[in-house]
Amino acid sequence: MADPTELTRLLHATAAGDRRAFSQLYQLTSPHLFGLLLRMLQRRDWAEEALQDCFFKIWQKAETYASEKGAPLTWLLSVARYRALDLLRMRRPEVEMPDGDDDFSLPPLTLQDDAQDPMARAVEGQGIARMHACLKNLPAEQRDALLLAYYEGYTHQELSVRFGAPLGTVKSWVRRGLARLRDCLDQ
Amino acid sequence: MKYQSSKLRQMLAAEYVTGTLTGAARRRFRRLLAADPLLRDEVRYWESRFDELGLIEPLPPREQVWAEIDHRIRAAEGKVVPLSERRGQAGLTFLRLWAGVATAASLVMAVLLLRQLGTEPPVPAPEIVKVKEIVEVKKIVEVKVPVQAYVAALRLPDEEVQWTVSVLPDTRTVRVLVNGPAKLTAAQDYELWWIGDEGATSLGLLPRQGSLNVALPQQVRVQPSAKVAVSLEPAGGSRAAAGPSGPVLLATPLMPSV
């Protein structure tokens, strides 16, 4: 993982029009953004196109990043996430949920299994451990709904279809899940 | 909606971040966000909590993605990259287009087409096809006789389309081509200027669509240091006796097309 100080420096240099710094920033961070875009969009061509959009925007908007906006990587990832959400909202109505016709597939995200849990590897800092623990304490359907919404861009309607549950029910799973998560994190 | 209640604000921010706030509600929230630093803190709170989980496996994108980004940045700055440079770093779009323009009558036209089509999103092509096209490209480049000309691609701030200006000194002609309808209102026009040692000379208005041929004014000397500029003017062009009367939106050097 790239050092946040270094990323901040590269972002500032990018804002000043330094192409070399921008290229370095891309080298260091594009795998993170691409992983996220692939997870959300589930198609390599869409993810690549979205990645181009994101870095084009980052080049243009780097000067709007300020350190009070949080960690630089979080800011960069948020550019990618909101781009992906926009694309999903535009594109999903006309396509079925992606199936096996593409050149890759991702394993489902899960929190259940401590041994193979990708999160187990990521749990290092106190805050991360806390978020992890709080998520695990949620009822399964609330947690799954939240993870699918956040990491795969599911809407309420799509969650409702996925879980075979009424729309109002999944809405309240998301809402209650977030509220409980917040209470737990604030403790 | 009552955005003042802090619990409600927290929930809206959380649902915005998870993406379950959709449609008009999402757009409304974005507007609020722009004006409300506390709301932005809420959003960042959730963003960092989720990101810190590290559930996403990083995965490097394919090489050509960077080439496309680099190309878009240069295009946005109104710079035309000389062919000699482009050849080495070509992305898939570029290679595919090269094959497509093999029959074009002149390299100038080839450049124009490339610039015009090059802004479209790339569609990944199978690896084998790519290799074949590279071989073809080399052949084309060797056979073609270069036409001495200068080109510039112009991207204006509020426009999605791109104008391509080519300067043909042998016929003293400037050809301007736009790859789609311009957005600006009927009350305004873009005016194109030649900036040389002799100062600014109007080349007329940028076409709103299609293409336009303009004769180079007598006093203009075509030289490598020349630039072209675009100003935003009232309909019909500059009201000033000489030079633009409106804001200059862009000035860019001309690049040799070969």
Any A CB within 8 A of B5 CB: no
Q: Sheet containing B199-205: which strands, arranged edge to edge?
A: B199-205, B188-196, B227-234, B248-253
Q: How far apart are CA B36 and CA B15, in angstroms?
A: 17
B27 CB neighbours in chain A (<8 A) are none
Average pLDDT on B34-59 reads: 86
Q: What is the pLDDT of residues A104-163, one digit of tens each?
A: 445 555 554 444 444 444 444 455 678 888 998 999 999 999 999 998 889 999 899 989
Half-sphere exposure of B7 (CA within 13 A, CB side): 5
B124 CB neighbours in chain A (<8 A) are 44-45, 48
Q: How far apart are CA B190 and CA B138, in angstroms?
A: 38
Q: How far apart are CA B28 and CA B7, in angstroms?
A: 18
Q: How far apart are CA A184 and CA A182, in angstroms?
A: 5
pLDDT, chain A, mean: 81
> b/e for B64-87, b at 16 or more Cβ within 10 A?
bbbbbbbbbbbbbebebbebeebb
Domains in chain A, ordered, with CATH? 4-93 (1.10.1740.10), 118-186 (1.10.10.10)
Any A CB within 8 A of B66 CB: yes
CA distance B220 to chain A (A): 33
CA distance A12 to chain B (A): 17
B53 CB neighbours in chain A (<8 A) are 119, 122, 128, 131-132, 135
Residue B225, pLDDT score: 77
Question: Domain ranges in chain B?
Answer: 6-52, 63-143, 150-256
pTM for this model (two decimals):
0.54
Closest CB to B48 among A71, A132, A171: A71
* Chain-centre distance for alpha carbon B251: 14
> Would you call B222 helix, strand, or coil by DSSP?
coil
Interface subset of B 110-139, CB within 8 angstroms of A: 121-124
DSSP B150: E
Q: What is the pLDDT of residues B81-134, one digit of tens each?
A: 443 333 333 333 433 343 333 333 333 444 444 444 444 444 443 333 333 333
Kindly report the number of other CB atoms within 10 A of residue B11's CB atom. Answer: 18
The CATH code that applies to domain B150-256 is 2.60.40
